[in-house]
Amino acid sequence: MEKFRVEHLNFHYGDKLALSDISISISDRRITALIGPSGCGKSTFLRCLNRMNDTIRGARVEGRVLLDGQDIYARGTDVVELRKRVGMVFQRPNPFPQSIFDNIAFGPRVLGLEGDLHQIVEESLRGAVLWDEVKDKLKQDALGLSLGQQQRLCIARTIAVKPEVILMDEPCSALDPIATLQIEELMQSLKEEYSIVIVTHNMQQASRVSDFTGFFWLGEMVEFDVTERVFTRPAQRITEDYITGRAG
Amino acid sequence: MDRYVKQRMGFAFLTACAIAVVAPILVVIGLIFIEGAKAVSLEFISAVPYGGMKEGGIFPAIVGTLILTVGTALASIPVGVAGTIYLAEYARDTWMTRAIRLAIVNLAGIPSIVYGLFGLGMFVLFLHMGTSILAGVLTLAIMTLPVIISTSEEALRAVPMEFRTVSASLGGTRWQGIRYIVLPQAMPGIITGIILGLLRAAGETAPILFTVAAFYLPQLPRSPFDQVMALPYHLYVISTQVPGMPMSVQYGTALVLLILVLSMNLIATVIRSYFRRRRQW
Ligand SMILES: Nc1ncnc2c1ncn2[C@@H]1O[C@H](COP(=O)(O)OP(=O)(O)OP(=O)(O)O)[C@@H](O)[C@H]1O
Ligand SMILES: [Mg+2]
């Protein structure tokens, strides 16, 4: 099943063309990894999917991004509603300087979601495999958690608004190997319910966790295919060079 | 020279500087406390002055200063905080906003007598408020606003951009991000700015000189168009305008003003640490 369909997407920062003519399809309940050298536009592309680029001055989008067949850049799109459906986890763990409970409850509160807040918090923390570690200290400051726990807290905070897609921009780059593995396992369980798009610089991670892989090079999507094929028989020479460490 | 010796010398120098800064303040405060305590009594803070202000107390001046300070707070805090939020969070960075920002920073450094003269021209004369609490409060508020705005804006900008982004990514509106994440974190800084501004307003003589302060007025005010006595002006009057004034009355008045200002400071510190600890909804 197709979740996102991106058609001829161009993105400009002022005069600078950051993404050119990207067309891909992102599947529901699958993990799609985006790889490529620094500055090639991975984060820019990711932010196009929930319109987090909107506030950047001078930024301009061309082409179409369809979420369940609806163009999210069409006039009259409710951006708040879009971001509820397409959540985001950032590179650096960034809990609010508040209690664990309030962090998770933030989204449901601002969106005015129905339902028992305590139950939502518990479900979200369980979903992020953090519940057992924090269930006795929900009232404590989230900044007291380890970095790995903080990142899982951020994932829990994202799933608390019950999104359909989760975008992750290098979610493990600030974490140690064990915390990284925990997040990777978590992603495997999350993909039962969500469509996940992850940007990573870690080739092993991309090949371990993802079902599809897209390779960005200088603002273009050079290769997009089933992960196994990208890593074993890439169609482009440049992809092979990058994956094996000869380019980038 | 041995770098440890160097470090010790540097450290000694810094300590000496710190003492040089603190010592005079302690001497002044100590003197006011010791000398002032001789004059301050229940009668001194609760009675009306008489006998050429050499006898009785300073009750009307205390009430006047409290009224002016509370009035200034009411007039300046809502406008100041709302304006700051607009400037820091909503306004685009154009030459206009930059000019406004520059003007505010400069206004915060203008001598208070200039505000006094502005108040006289604007409120007392042009707007026909006369010498009144209203005119005095508005003058003090205008003097306080730049302090509130510039310190509060600093506090808002110190909150990492990231939190606003995260709030938006969770479906929060701009205002919800500000209201629930940014403001609580900036609150200690904003309160500091408010208190700094109000302390200045409570202690200044020049802005109230032509706009509200009465030389001698034992009755308490009954409307915003009445005049009041005020502590800083009263202190100025009894130290310079009344011959043969006993020193103890002057010290006593100074002590009361000092205690008023210090206790405001204390309250501010308590509120600030409360917000610092809370930092949530
Ligand atoms: N706010 C911005 N304004 C102007 N140019 C930008 C902005 N953000 C990114 N760029 C430029 O757009 C290009 C793509 O940036 P992007 O952050 O998407 O790369 P990336 O692939 O995520 O890199 P990295 O792996 O280092 O995170 C870069 O050349 C970058 O300099
Ligand atoms: Mg990036």
Type of residue at B242: V
Is B50 a member of any domain? yes
Task: Indicate the pLDDT class of residue B264, thresholds 50, 70 and 90.
Answer: confident
**CATH number, residue B171:** 1.10.3720.10
Give domain status of residue B15, yes or no: no
B169 to chain A, closest Cα gap in Å: 6
Q: B235 with B250: CB under 8 angstroms?
A: yes
Ligand 1: residue whose CA is nearest its atom 14: A41
The verdict on a CB contact (< 8 Å) between B280 and A99 is yes
**Per-residue pLDDT tens over the stretch B48-105:** 888 888 888 899 999 999 999 999 999 999 999 999 999 999 998 899 999 999 999 9
Q: Domain count of chain B?
A: 1
Residue B88 lies in a domain: yes
Instruction: Print the domain residue range for B44.
Output: 37-278
Question: Among all ligands shown, which has an atom nearest to the Cα of A90?
Answer: 2
Q: Taking 50 as the threshold, does the pLDDT of residue B255 lie above it?
A: yes
Question: By the 8 A CB rule, do B139 and B116 touch?
Answer: yes
Are A107 and B171 spatial neighbours (Cβ–Cβ below 8 Å)?
A: yes
Residues B99 and B115: their CA atoms lie apart, in Å, by: 20
Residue A72 confidence (pLDDT)? 96
pLDDT tens for residues B98-131? 999 999 999 988 999 999 999 999 999 999 999 9
In this prediction, residue B242 has a pLDDT band, given cuts at 50, 70 and 90, of: confident
H helices of chain B, in order, are 3-39, 42-46, 59-85, 95-107, 112-119, 133-157, 161-169, 174-177, 183-203, 206-209, 231-240, 247-278
Site to substitute for ligand 1 among A16, A169, A220, most atoms within 8 A of C-beta:
A16
Positions of chain A with pLDDT under 50? none
| B99, B100, B102, B108: CA torsion to nearest 10 | 160
Q: How many residues does chain A have?
A: 248
Contact list, B97 vs chain A (CB under 8 Å):
none
pLDDT recorded at residue A85: 95
Atom of ligand 1 nearest to the CA of A36: 21
In total, chain B counts a number of residues equal to: 281
Q: Which of B38, B24, B41, B25 is nearest to B251 (CA)?
A: B38
Q: Which two tokens stand for residue B71?
A: 């009035």
Q: What are phi and psi of B7, to 5 degrees?
A: -60, -45
Angle at the Cα of B9 from the Cα atoms of B8 and B10, rounded to 5 degrees: 90
Share of chain B above pLDDT 90, in %: 73
Whether residue B227 is contained in a domain is answered as yes
CA-nearest residue of chain A to B172? A110
CB atoms within 10 A of CB A222: 18
Give how far B166 is from chain A: nearest CA, Å: 8
B77 found inside a domain: yes
What ipTM score was computed for the predicted complex, to two decimals?
0.88
Beta bridge partners of A99: A141
| Residue among A22, A43, A49, A221 to mutate when testing ligand 1 (max atoms within 8 A of CB) | A43
Query: In terms of Cα–Cα distance, which of A25, A28, A29, A23 is closest to A9?
Result: A23
Q: Decide: A40 in ligand 1 pocket, CB within 6 A.
A: yes
What's the whole-model pTM score?
Answer: 0.84
Contacts of A161 in chain B (CB under 8 A): 170-171
The pLDDT assigned to A248 comes to 63
How does pLDDT run across B123-152, given as a tens digit for each residue?
A: 999 999 999 999 999 999 999 999 999 999
Mean pLDDT over the full length of chain B: 91
Residue B105 lies in a domain: yes
Q: How high is the pLDDT of residue A14?
A: 92
Residue B27, in any domain of the structure: no
For chain A positions 32-91, those within 8 Å of chain B (CB to CB) are 50, 52, 55, 80-81, 83-84, 87-88, 90
Token pair in block for residue A2: 């197709």
Q: Indicate whether residue A197 lines ligand 1 (CB < 6 A).
A: no
The arithmetic mean of pLDDT across residues B255-275, rounded, is 87
- Say if B7 falls within a structural domain: no
Could you tell me the distance, in angstroms and rounded to a whole number, from the CA of residue A87 to the centre of ligand 1? 20
B173 CB near a chain A CB, below 8 Å? Answer: yes
Q: Domains in chain A, start-ordered, CATH in brackets?
A: 2-243 (3.40.50.300)
B280 pLDDT band, cuts 50/70/90, is very low
- Average pLDDT (B15-31) is 94
